[in-house]
Structure 1
Amino acid sequence: MVEQILCYRAPTTVADAAEIADWLEPRVEATVSVRDRFLEVHRTDDLGERFAEARVPSPYDRETGNTMLGTIRYEERALEHPEREGGVLYDGRQVQRALNSALPSEERGLETLHVALLDRAIGTWGDHDGRWHKRVNVLGQPALVSVPGLYEAPAKPEEYYKEKQRHSLLSGDAPPREVLENRVEGDFLIEDDPRTTDALKGYVLQAYHVLETGEAFCDREGCRLFNAHYHEDLIAAQLREPEFCSGHTRRYGRP
């Protein structure tokens, strides 16, 4: 049984760990507290190398890792200056193992759940289609919640990708949010979206839920425990009422 949840900040993102913790605490039978960035609090000497080993070089290559000295130095600099990191996908399971080994032994048991909000894109390999898939979260100890994954992992409306490509061909860079929002039908989240914190609350709750019940996700669309593969479904699950399906309302719902 989880007795304590520790949420770690991601200071280079708009995600507010304190607000997530305040939402979570009345819904769970555990104390909830907030710590600074996981990669700062639990730094180990080999963490840069472990991130280099977890790099995904190609969407269709199962093998991971680039441990050339320059890559390791890059990862070490990214740990010191996270605002400079970006554009790299990491194997979420490898990162999880690296961060688990960085935890102090007295905090590694499942009675203390660590939830690391990360400013890194993480993924898992799909045996069914032979490619990497970006993820919002990787459940376990510690649980990883990727803020970039919130924007990048679920599929957006097809018109979004067409408009982005069109703008890029004309101007050479990504279109501003207001351009995409005005020209693309449908609702979706993009980088630094003001709805980020609200949308992440359910993903953090999923980390607690799986340890408490053994159930990873809910199969009912519109529930915060639903594993959405499209932005439309993500927004329905995380940002619209009701928060939970009838079954999970009994467990986590609040008046």
Structure 2
Amino acid sequence: MTEVTLYRAPTTVADAEEIADWLRERVAGVEDDDGETIAVEVRDRFLDVHRDEALPEQFAETRVSSPYERETGNTMLGIVRYEERALDHPERAGGVLYDGLGVQRALNAAIPERKRTLDHLHVALLDRPVGTWGDHDGRWHKRVNVLGQPALVSVPGLYEAPAKPEAYYQAKQKTALLSGDAPPREVLESEVEGEFLVAEDPRTTEALKGYVLQAVHCWRTGEGFCDDERCRLSNPHRQPGVIEAQLRDPEFCETHAELYE
């Protein structure tokens, strides 16, 4: 049987059940090599279901210490203890960026070997920001998802990774010049006009559906992101592009509509 397991992120507004229902409809006509349809199940938080004693130290090893330094990790006792608490009480964690590929390797190792097969994709909704290193510009970039096994879909990444409208950064710079300090994010979000997603946004679940499908599509076909910016399988780098791709019709470009509509 070909199977997708989607894991909840209970400290976020993301509704895993709704995403799974939508995903089932999208892949209802898709068959695996044995002629069977893809089964989609929902489980509790990945870091609870597949808890591994090594995870706290592994998360500590993937912490990004500087936006411009490739090397990651701080395994001092206090940091490892913090990661242990973050696993037990995720609502208290925050403010840390993690190497997405490093986290992916750690979570892959935590999946039982019998569940770590080519015909079983694990998709973890995460309440942590993850990033990847950009060799082209020598800095870390936050990501909404990291494709692979397991696929990571970062809920805070949805708000933080794609750049906001230019007016947002102009207002931030102007206020900093006048007051000597940048205003709180919440103030800017309420004052700046433009379309972008904010923390706890009620549109979060709807927007994440496309990012979860991207993971499934890559797993099934080996293809990366779609070049059509209007398609849910595209990977826009700016918030207005996310709105266009994930929250407006049509859902898919002509090619991918044949597969998923």
For this structure pair, what is the TM-score category when the shorter chain's length is used for normalisation? over 0.9
How many pairs were matched up? 250
1:70 to 74, 78, 95: 78
Q: Distance in 2 between matches of 1:110 and 1:220?
A: 28
> Is residue 121–residue 150 contact of structure 2 (8 Å, CA) maintained in 1?
yes
Asked if residue 251 in structure 1 is aligned to residue 259 in structure 2, the reply is yes
Secondary structure of 1:134's partner?
strand
Distance 1:162 1:169, change over 3 A: farther
Cα offset, 1:176, TM superposition: 3.2
> Is residue 121–residue 134 contact of structure 1 (8 Å, CA) maintained in 2?
yes
Query: For residue 18 of structure 2, what is the aligned residue in structure 1?
Result: 19
Query: For residue 163 of structure 1, what is the aligned residue in structure 2?
Result: 171
Asked if residue 10 in structure 1 is aligned to residue 9 in structure 2, the reply is yes
Q: Distance in 2 between matches of 1:19 and 1:89?
A: 27
Cα offset, 1:110, TM superposition: 2.0
> Is residue 189–residue 198 contact of structure 2 (8 Å, CA) maintained in 1?
no
> Is residue 163–residue 180 contact of structure 1 (8 Å, CA) maintained in 2?
no
Identify unmatched segments of 5+ residues in structure 2.
31-37
TM-score by length of structure 1 reads: 0.94
1:180 to 180, 189, 196: 189
> Is residue 50–residue 95 contact of structure 1 (8 Å, CA) maintained in 2?
yes
Where has structure 1 moved over 4 Å in runs of 4 or more?
A: 167-173
Query: For residue 65 of structure 2, what is the aligned residue in structure 1?
Result: 57
Query: For residue 228 of structure 1, what is the aligned residue in structure 2?
Result: 236
> Is residue 145–residue 203 contact of structure 1 (8 Å, CA) maintained in 2?
yes
Q: Distance in 2 between matches of 1:200 and 1:87?
A: 21
1:136 to 135, 141, 144: 144
> Is residue 224–residue 238 contact of structure 1 (8 Å, CA) maintained in 2?
yes
Cα offset, 1:27, TM superposition: 1.3
Q: Distance in 1 between matches of 2:22 and 2:233?
A: 15
Cα offset, 1:169, TM superposition: 4.7
Distance 1:190 1:170, change over 3 A: farther
- Counterpart residue identity of residue 189, structure 2: L
> Is residue 17–residue 34 contact of structure 1 (8 Å, CA) maintained in 2?
yes
Query: For residue 111 of structure 1, what is the aligned residue in structure 2?
Result: 119
> Is residue 163–residue 237 contact of structure 2 (8 Å, CA) maintained in 1?
yes
Q: Distance in 2 between matches of 1:169 and 1:245?
A: 46
Cα offset, 1:214, TM superposition: 1.0
> Is residue 133–residue 141 contact of structure 2 (8 Å, CA) maintained in 1?
yes
Q: Residue by residue, what CA displacement relative to the aligned partner does 1:103-129 show, whole Å, maximum 9, x if unpaired?
A: 011110121110000000000000000
Q: Distance in 1 between matches of 2:72 and 2:166?
A: 29
> Is residue 9–residue 36 contact of structure 1 (8 Å, CA) maintained in 2?
yes
Q: Distance in 2 between matches of 1:249 and 1:175?
A: 37
Q: Distance in 1 between matches of 2:258 and 2:67?
A: 40
| Mapping 1:186-225, distance limit 5 Å | 186-225=194-233
> Is residue 64–residue 99 contact of structure 2 (8 Å, CA) maintained in 1?
yes
Query: For residue 34 of structure 2, what is the aligned residue in structure 1?
Result: none
Identify unmatched segments of 5+ residues in structure 1.
none
Report the aligned-residue RMSD: 1.7
TM-score by length of structure 2 reads: 0.92
Identity %: 66
Secondary structure of 2:217's partner?
helix
Q: Distance in 2 between matches of 1:196 and 1:187?
A: 13
